[in-house]
Structure 1
Amino acid sequence: METIHNISQFNDIQFQTVTTIGTFDGVHLGHRKILERLTNNAKKTGLKSTVLTFFPHPRMVLQKDVDIKLLNTLEEKTQILETLGLEYLIVHPFTKEFSRLSATDFVNDILVNGLKTKKIIIGYDHRFGRNRNANIQDLIAFGETLDFEVEEIPAQEVDDISVSSTKIRKALLEGDITTANNYLSYAYMLTGTIKKGKGMGRDFGFPTANLHIAETYKLIPKTGAYVVNSTINGKVYFGMMNIGFNPTVDGTEKSIEVNFFDFEGDLYGQKIQVSLLHRIRDEQKFSSIEELKTQLKKDKDYSLELISK
């Protein structure tokens, strides 16, 4: 898959595309149905399968929605899409100026001249153009004039996608990682850089890697302890992760700390991706450090038992 970060860099292509448009946050099961339809159509027709998405998320620009939480960072979304057999991913910068394109200009400049679209696969409720004033019937009419086909995604499939996204976010915020992972069809991931912490985990016999996530829009699951894994230097390591405030030692700032089993080495400054496999328990305040250490040993035993299965 080739990733292109501005549609203007795609203008010189000599082939035609079958295209779909969307944010595809999470790239979950519902999205995959559409993307499978896209790639299958490309194989049958010889067109190039192309996804057009936008960054920042339109709500960040138009509504200044600083509290919006997304399931994927742009890097994570690109990584997942790359596994699905797509040929091109266009990540176009979303700006206020771009949002003011009329429907006619959007179809002509973006779909026809930019993407060389011969076919577009899109939801029945898709709206586009300035103030989102054009709908799929308008798109079909444009297609008849400008010689491209519109394939409408049925209401049921679009509704499934909406429900899936809502359920995934709700599940993660409730700590229901099993439901979230089932809808995603992969383990929810957190990607960040390992920063130095206070070193207390090492003192307890459970050295932790402190994961710092730069993207403030990334959805962080409910506080608590989780079973996780991560690929480090080409090898998969399992461990347990705590998301929370470390109340037993009077912590005040939220942190994400991972204790990897059987790992020895310095991770400071490294970028790693952690997959959440199972939730162990809520975060809690213990009456003493010894009580906390006892619980951590129980958490590790529980995690190792789950991993062995």
Structure 2
Amino acid sequence: MKITRSIFDFTPNTKTIVTIGTFDGVHIGHQKIIENLVAEAKRDNKESVVLTFFPHPRMVLQQDASIELINTIKERAQRLAKTGLDHLIVHPFSKEFSRLTALDFVRNVLVNQLDVSKLVIGYDHHFGKNREGNIEQLTEYSHLFDFTVEEIPAQDIDSVSVSSTKIRRALQGGGLKTANKYLGYNFSLTGKVVKGNQLGGKIGFPTANIHIEENYKLIPKEGVYVVKAKINGERFHGMMNIGNRPTVNGANRTIEVNFFDFDENLYNQQITIELLYYLREEEKFSSVEELKLQLKKDKENTLNYLKTIVQ
């Protein structure tokens, strides 16, 4: 998959089949749309293209709005690459770009720049200035500019519509099992290992403290998770705590991972943590000794859980 950082730097070799969207999470509904698009493009000797935007439009148009995304832009690209897509265009979203009318967007971007032969869009897609463009206008413009439009209906699992919003809510509410089911893969956090207060090591549970640079990355519900990570090519399991460490009067939220059977220096390394299971909520214990006893139970419960899954 080739990544292009601007619409205006993209030069197709053939006609294209294009889909547009944020695709936050690249969940199973997104995957189905894109895999169908890729298969059709290959069959018709065309190039498959996903057009997405960064920063997210809300970061630009509603700067005071807090936004939490399932994927960082890098994670999104990595997930899209797994679909067999030919091209990912990550166009810089700006206020100027948001002022393009629906007609200008179709004519100048889709037709003149991307050489679209077919546009595949999700259910209830809107585009252009003030989100004025809709499926009816797209259909009208498609006749004018000689391309076709396909609207994909909402994707369902067990009669529940899959959406990035529902996945975010699941993660924020401790529903990791539901979130991972809808994503089609394990939700993950990627960050740099930084120095903490080293309390974990003093009570027999040394932790890697993870700093996530992207302030828009969704951090799931506070609590203890069963996790895994690949470090120097080898897979390790462990347990991770997200929270304020109330037992030791912690002030700021931290992300700390205790890896089992691991004793190496990870400082300044970038690692990706996959979240497998939500073990329990964060608690305040009456003493550090009581916390230590609970951590022993957490490790036992984590090991018991790992025995039940295909790893």
Of Structure 1 and Structure 2, the greater helix share is in 1
1:248 paired residue number: 247
Alpha-carbon distance in 2 for matches of 1:285, 1:77: 36
Instruction: Give yes or no for contact 2:12–2:47 (8 Å, CA) kept in 1.
Output: no
Structure 2: unaligned runs, 5 residues or longer: none
Residues 205-263 of structure 1, C-alpha deviations (whole Å, 9 max, x = no match): 11100000111111111110000001111111101000001111111110000001111
Residues 181-208 of structure 1, C-alpha deviations (whole Å, 9 max, x = no match): 1111111111111111011111011110
Cα distance change on mapping 1:150 and 1:219 into 2, 3 Å = same
Alpha-carbon distance in 1 for matches of 2:70, 2:35: 21
Residues 275-297 of structure 1, C-alpha deviations (whole Å, 9 max, x = no match): 10001111111111111111111
Q: Which amino acid in 2 is paired with 1:216?
A: N
Q: Which amino acid in 1 is paired with 2:102?
A: A
Alpha-carbon distance in 2 for matches of 1:232, 1:150: 45
Determine whether 1:302 maps to 2:301: yes
Alpha-carbon distance in 1 for matches of 2:291, 2:151: 55
1:70 paired residue number: 69
Determine whether 1:9 maps to 2:9: yes
Instruction: Give yes or no for contact 1:248–1:285 (8 Å, CA) kept in 2.
Output: yes
SS state of the match for residue 225, structure 2? strand
Alpha-carbon distance in 1 for matches of 2:162, 2:180: 15
Determine whether 1:88 maps to 2:87: yes
Determine whether 1:138 maps to 2:137: yes
Alpha-carbon distance in 2 for matches of 1:94, 1:244: 33
Alpha-carbon distance in 1 for matches of 2:156, 2:301: 39
Q: CA deviation at 1:163?
A: 4.5
Q: Pick from 130, 154, 157: which aligns with 2:155?
A: 157
Count of residue correspondences: 307
Q: Which amino acid in 2 is paired with 1:188?
A: F
Q: Which amino acid in 2 is paired with 1:72?
A: N
Instruction: Give yes or no for contact 1:210–1:257 (8 Å, CA) kept in 2.
Output: yes
SS state of the match for residue 84, structure 1? coil
Residues 62-90 of structure 1, C-alpha deviations (whole Å, 9 max, x = no match): 11144111111111111111111111110
Alpha-carbon distance in 2 for matches of 1:251, 1:174: 22
Instruction: Give yes or no for contact 1:4–1:89 (8 Å, CA) kept in 2.
Output: yes
Q: What does residue range 28-67 of structure 1 map to in structure 2 within 5 Å?
A: 28-67=27-66
Instruction: Give yes or no for contact 2:239–2:257 (8 Å, CA) kept in 1.
Output: yes
Alpha-carbon distance in 2 for matches of 1:283, 1:77: 29
Q: What does residue range 1-309 of structure 1 map to in structure 2 within 5 Å?
A: 1-10=1-10, 12-154=11-153, 156-157=154-155, 163-309=162-308
**What TM-score results when the alignment is normalised by the length of structure 1?**
0.95
SS state of the match for residue 219, structure 1? coil
After superposing the two structures, state which structure 1 stretch, 69-78 or 56-65, moved more. 56-65
Structure 1: unaligned runs, 5 residues or longer: none
Q: CA deviation at 1:158?
A: 8.9
Alpha-carbon distance in 1 for matches of 2:25, 2:133: 26
Alpha-carbon distance in 1 for matches of 2:112, 2:156: 27
Residues 153-188 of structure 1, C-alpha deviations (whole Å, 9 max, x = no match): 23x439989643232112111111111111111111
Instruction: Give yes or no for contact 1:177–1:279 (8 Å, CA) kept in 2.
Output: yes
Alpha-carbon distance in 2 for matches of 1:209, 1:234: 17
Instruction: Give yes or no for contact 1:244–1:254 (8 Å, CA) kept in 2.
Output: yes
Alpha-carbon distance in 2 for matches of 1:74, 1:192: 14
Q: RMSD between aligned alpha carbons?
A: 1.7
